[in-house]
Structure 1
């Protein structure tokens, strides 16, 4: 979607060349680099450029992705792509949502975050559903302030205990609909084919490449 809300197609195309990945999360950077591989893009992470991490003050995934992309584009002088994503649990009124990373604490320990989700679900009536979905908002910003954004989603259920050591974040407790494995158990290529991030990337690729 266009960041200016005018059309579902991007106004501006992205030529091959350098693109800043506005993230300090190695797992996200790895997935994004894999998804960008076929398009002649040279990804450079914000960490490689020693760019600071902005405070995520937005109240939506899109707003947080935009502010991260805009800062990285402004500081680097290059186009920048930012991802803001998280887990939304229906029975917890959408939490942790945009606070998904913050639930992991300053140490970014997602075993703590997954336990916190499980503890909150365990405190609810036994018949409470375990439906959840991941959201991924991608914002592509240019140094002149132009932004395009795209939002993807993947629905599934939560399991306990966590399963698998692949992926990152909440992947070991999320089983996407139609599958038996958690994201944490899946081959990365299988996850890339169906994830919330892949859904958002399909939209971005169709629009800007």
Structure 2
């Protein structure tokens, strides 16, 4: 699917409709990313290709660190707030006029350097002050319990008919 929407919601719907059209079945799709308010919520919907190459985590992380350096230089003691966002769209068929939408938001801060070996994407830079850990330092069970994706799937389940 061509993700040419202007929001996480639009891209999740585009992907769900695409999957449903190909399969002929209901489909669920996700669009997720990292939003950093001091960068105008970048990388946002472009998170996977922030540095220009889709899925290159090392380059994306390096670009984020570089883009934040001038801001850190101006306010070295100020935490850089960020949030991971996940939107799930469920369509019953490709042309479903009323997709079910669920979203999760995971609040944190951006570190100056990667920390932790687990996870993927921006996880090594995403600091969780309450846990005193990066997302990349969490075990899978903990991450699934508190992450933006975990929140979104639990919200989606509450919207399904019983």
TM-score normalised by structure 1 residue count: 0.71
Equivalent residues, number? 156
Is 2:74 aligned against 1:126? yes
What's the offset of the Cα at 1:144?
4.7
- 1:76 is matched with which residue? 23
Give the whole-Å Cα distance in 1 for the aligned partners of 2:123 and 2:136. 5
| 8 A contact 1:163–1:184 mirrored in 2 | yes
The question of whether the paired residues in 1 share the 8 Å contact of 2:26 and 2:94 is answered with no
Any idea what the Cα deviations from partners look like across 1:172-193, whole Å, max 9, x if unmatched?
1102341111111110110001
* 1:138 counterpart residue number: 88
Contact 2:16–2:94 (CA under 8 A) maintained in structure 1 = no
C-alpha distance in 2 between matches for 1:181 and 1:94: 23
Q: Which runs of 5+ in 2 are unaligned?
A: none
User: In angstroms, what is the RMSD of aligned CA positions?
Assistant: 1.5
When residues 84 and 179 of structure 1 are mapped into structure 2, their CA distance, relative to the original with a 3 A threshold, is same
TM-score normalised per structure 2: 0.90
Task: Provide the residue aligned with 1:167 in structure 2.
Answer: 119
Question: Which is richer in helix?
Answer: 2
CA contact (8 A) 2:37 2:82 kept: yes
Stretches of structure 1 that go unaligned for 5 or more consecutive residues are 1-53
